[in-house]
Amino acid sequence: MRKRDFTIQELSQFNGSGPDGRILIAVNGNVFDVTNNGKEFYGKDGPYAIFAGRDASRSLTMFTTDIPPCNEEYDDLSDLTSDQMKSLKEWELQFRERYPLVGKLLSPSEPHHLYESADNEDSSQVDTLTGSAKPKTD
């Protein structure tokens, strides 16, 4: 998956139930693809399936699998204590070591950014909302 930005609503589409089965999880503003190395944990029957397609930051800092109701909206995490922020950074580091970083979680006021293409893809041929290649119009 090529790097892109996600809103909370866009992220929710990547909970493993889509046609490609992709599972993405946001941690501390970064979005990770856990599909290949974490499906047994975050997939449909996994113990942490509740995090699939969501921002898991607050739950991870509190060591709970309960997702707060506000998780349907962007959480700037500004009310976390310094200890909780330290814990969140440790979780982020663990995710960075295990899973590919595929993008950034956007706040509602942030625009989507177009990232440089990988593998010599023409970035103008990429749909910035879905991250997939646009159909060629030769």
Q: Which tens digits make up the pLDDT trace of 45-60?
A: 999 999 999 999 999 9
99 sits in the region (left: phi over 0; alpha: psi -120 to 50; else beta) called beta
DSSP string, 1-20: ---EEE-HHHHTT-BS-STT
Taking the model in full, what pTM does it have? 0.80
Structural domains for the chain: 4-125 (3.10.120.10)
Whole-number Å distance between alpha carbons of 52 and 41? 10
Give 64's pLDDT tier (boundaries 50, 70, 90): confident
Summarize the confidence of residues 3-7 as an average pLDDT: 95
